[in-house]
Amino acid sequence: NYSIDITQLKIKSGYYDGKLFAISKSLAVIEFNMDGTILTANDNFLQVMGYTLDEIKGQHHQLFADAHYANSHEYKEFWQKLQQGKFHSGEYQRLGKGNKEVWIQATYNPILDPSGRPVKVVKFATDITEQKQQSANYEGQLSAINKSQAVIEFSMDGIILHANDNFLNTMGYRLDEIQGKHHSLFAEPGYAASNEYNQFWHKLNLGQFDSGEYKRLGKGGKEVWIQATYNPILDTNGNPFKVVKYATDITQRKLAVRCIKEAIFSLSEGHLSHNIDNDLGAEFNILKDAMNGLTRSLNSMVHEITNTSNNVYQGSQSIATDSEELSKRIERQAASLEETASTMEELTATVKQNAKSAEDVSVHADQAMSKAAQGQQTVSNAVNAMSDIEGCSNRISDIIGVINEIAFQTNLLALNASVEAARAGEAGRGFAVVASEVRNLAQRSASAAKEIKHLIEDSSSAVAKGSELVATSGERFSELTQVVQEVNSMIMDITRAGQEQSEGVTAVSSTVAQLDNLTQKNMQLVEQSTQAGQLMRQQAQHLLQQVSTFKVSSTQELLLAPEPQKMFQLVAGTSTL
């Protein structure tokens, strides 16, 4: 008998077993035959894939592979290399139970026998499904950002490392034109040399991000505005090692804001001829059209207000001028009415005096008629004593002729007085003349009557002798009485006509007074109308002054209203300025 010391082998074997046990506890482990048939798998693997060992033992490895991949040439080469004893490692997409997607970080390790021939394959794997999904999420986000935004990367000293197409298109450069250049290439020279710019990069080097709206210069000095964030990227130790900028081109938006702001400021200053002519893009062209439409509407409205105000002003000025002219005319009319009223008062007094004189004449005529009647009675009583007056009859006949002449002229004058009384105005004067002549004739009649009386007294002794002549005289006296009655009737007609004329003149005077009162009221209304015209003119002028603050597309003439003048006033029948 002989023995071999295998202590070291046991120790070594125990060491390997311990390592395998530790690996089995932390990793997913599965073993395959060289043809890919599953021999065994630990709990970690079964848990990751969602199977039990009975469900997979004896199955081929392609159970975990996508059908397209399992039938591919790549899959066949994969197993061929393992059969050649070459291991595989990497990240693999596999299918768990129910076609659940599983990502693993794995190594496929051929196990060799003492002769160096591979006898089986052991795979050690780690489930990285969650990390792959998270990584895919990050990559998807970065891809989306890269598609929609301008992205550029800088070293911590500001040197350009890379830029995507969006950034290059925005700035107008190619990558080879900016790569390796400093960020200040995009900054205005004054800003790039400022302390503010140095502080900007100092802040990024401290790991602090910066965001905002930035004015940058593209190729050829083109002004570009961007909405951007500068993001320091930290290494595993938390130290920044590069800066990634994500940016959106807002140049058109800034242009739109500037144009719209200028339009609003111009509008606030009264400039209505300002239009936005730049293309502001689909988003802001609607607002541009609205602003231009508003400006055009305001411009048209101010045009119309100005034209209307000018028309109102000119109309009110014409009204005020016409009212002032009417006021002057009414003033002259009032003065004429005043003179007319004064003349009518005098005429009324004259007519009343004529009427009174006619009444007095009528009274005296009545008395003369009464006396004539008494004389006729006396003649009748003296008929028997008139026989002796034959010698005086011729003389009496002459006197009677005179009386007849007087009566004839009195008749003519009375007729003239009637004609004159029918006239207005100057007719009163004619009537006065006629009345005077009537009085003269009456006096002559009285003188003749006295002479007749003396003759009668002289011939009283011969009355008896002239009885026949007295009888004849009685007849003549009766005729005289009748004539006196007719004259008295005519005088009464004249009196009535004078009264009617007095009443007519009084009515005319009342009408003139009413006209004078209406003229004064008209004067007040004209004064109010003129004041209203002046006020309307001043209001139109004020409106024009307000509208004049706007600068429209064509000039508008601004008419200035003069100071209002004092108005004509009619006071107690007189006009004052």
Multiple choice CATH, 13-136, 3.30.450.20, 3.30.70.260, 1.10.1740.10, 3.40.50.720: 3.30.450.20
Question: What rounded mean pLDDT belongs to the chain?
Answer: 77
| Alpha-carbon distances, residue 475 vs 372, 468, 478, 479, 486 (angstroms) | 13, 11, 5, 6, 17
Mean pLDDT check: name the lowest of 121-125, 186-190, 212-216, 355-359. 355-359
Lowest-confidence range among 24-38, 64-78, 265-279?
265-279
Pick the more confident residue, 165 or 558: 165
Residues 6+ apart with CB under 8 A from 367: none
CATH architecture of 149-268: 2-Layer Sandwich (3.30)
Q: What is the DSSP string of 273-338?
A: S----S--HHHHHHHHHHHHHHHHHHHHHHHHHHHHHHHHHHHHHHHHHHHHHHHHHHHHHHHHHH
Question: What's the confidence (pLDDT) of residue 565?
Answer: 46
Name the least confident of 49-53, 97-101, 435-439, 476-480: 435-439
Identify the weakest region by mean pLDDT among 206-220, 414-428, 486-500. Answer: 414-428
pLDDT band at 552 (very low <50, low <70, confident <90, very high): low
Residues of the chain with CATH 1.10.287.950: 300-549
Over residues 132-157, mean pLDDT: 80
Handedness of CA 486, 492, 498, 501 (dihedral sign): negative
pLDDT at 481: 73
pLDDT of residue 534: 74
Residues 539-559, mean pLDDT to the nearest whole number: 60
CATH 3.30.450.20 placement within the chain: 13-136, 149-268
Is the pLDDT score of 45 beyond 70?
A: yes
pLDDT surpassing 50 at residue 210: yes
**pLDDT number for residue 575:** 40
Q: Among 173-187, 440-454, 544-558, which is the least confidently predicted range?
A: 544-558
Q: Are 146 and 129 in contact (CB under 8 A)?
A: no
Q: Using CA atoms, how far apart are residues 504 and 511, in angstroms rounded to an integer?
A: 10
What pLDDT does residue 69 have? Answer: 93
CB distance 419 to 433 below 8 Å: no
Give me the pLDDT at residue 424, please. 56
Does residue 32 have a pLDDT over 90?
A: yes
Query: 229 forms bridges with which residues in the sheet?
Result: 211, 246
| pLDDT for residue 566 | 45
Classify each residue of 320-353 as buried b or exposed e, where b means 16 or more C-beta atoms within 10 Å of its C-beta: beebbebbeebbebbeebbeebeebeebbebbbe
**Residue 190 confidence class, pLDDT cut points 50, 70, 90:** very high
Most confident listed range (61-75, 242-256, 277-291, 306-320) = 61-75
Specify the range with the lowest mean pLDDT, choosing from 227-231, 377-381, 508-512.
377-381
pLDDT at residue 314 above 90? no
| pLDDT score recorded for residue 569 | 42
Q: Which CATH class is domain 300-549?
A: mainly alpha
**240 — phi, psi (to 5°)?**
-70, 135
